[in-house]
Structure 1
Amino acid sequence: MPMSASPACVGLAWSLVEQRLITWRLDEDARYDAHLVLAELVANAVSVTPAGRSITVHCRRDEDGVTIGVADPCPGLPRAPAPLVEPDLDDLDLDEENFDDNGGWGLSIVTALSAACGVTPLASGGKVVWARLKT
């Protein structure tokens, strides 16, 4: 499912994938986990994709579960998530202008919810970041 790389495509991607998961009769808990993983992967792809370019969302089911992947044209690989440590309020910048800059948990969420995840480089120079969810 190719789509223009913009913040709005997270909702579009979720609507399309949600319909597929419902057709596959995944329960609400499995769809919730898939939603979180998809949102993180799409948001990360959008953040590295130049304006005017597109990303592609992949969703596949087999006997082992569901794989969600997002392809982007950026050759850079995502950084492995840091070890999961519960943040302390002193670690966060709670000033109003910086409140939304306390992120960096996306790939940790993906790793925690997935049976497996990884990156597959594309011949075009981009990559697909994917996560496999047990169903």
Structure 2
Amino acid sequence: MDARIRKWDYFHILDNALLIVSELVTNAARQTPREEIRLQLSRDSYGITIAVWDAAHELPRAKPKTELTLEDLDLSEEAFDDNGGWGLHIVQALSTKCGVTGDPAGGKWIWARILS
């Protein structure tokens, strides 16, 4: 994906695109562990669309927004993974538009649009 965005000459949105891909793929892998997930990247004259498919029918839900400080986080080794769940907020902040589209064949596509 990195090479494709560079080939399209969208260097200025590369970091945001890679972070969005990371968040969407991570969510899909957690929703459907050990199952197929798909990544699609497309572009037009306005920017790129990143889409990730998984077989789950459950729609993603963002955690309620809240003010966090480092003191709020439990950074112990046992609870380290409990601090996640903010990915959809990151996707919303970095994209122009994002959403979920049901796939008639099953599952769903979660997508984000970044304008160039």
Same fold at TM > 0.5: yes
CA separation in 2, counterparts of 1:19 and 1:40? 19
Deviation at 1:19, TM superposition (A): 1.2
Bigger mean CA offset, 117-126 vs 106-115 = 117-126
Contact 2:37–2:55 under 8 Å retained in 1: yes
The answer to whether structure 1 residue 106 and structure 2 residue 87 are counterparts is yes
Candidates 72, 81, 91, aligned match of 1:91 = 72
Gaps of 5+ in 2: none
TM-score (norm 2): 0.92
Runs of 4 or more consecutive aligned structure 1 residues displaced over 2 Å after TM superposition: 80-83, 88-91
Deviation at 1:93, TM superposition (A): 1.7
CA separation in 1, counterparts of 2:63 and 2:95? 14
**Matched residue, 2:6:** 22
Question: What pairs up with 1:1-135 in 2 under 5 angstroms?
Answer: 17-27=1-11, 29-51=12-34, 53-83=35-65, 85-135=66-116
Cα RMSD (Å) of the superposition? Answer: 1.4
Aligned residues: 116
User: 1:2-53 CA deviation, whole Å, 9 max, x = no partner?
Assistant: xxxxxxxxxxxxxxx11110110112x31000000000000000111142x2
SS in 2 for 1:57: strand
Q: What amino acid is the match of 2:81? A: D
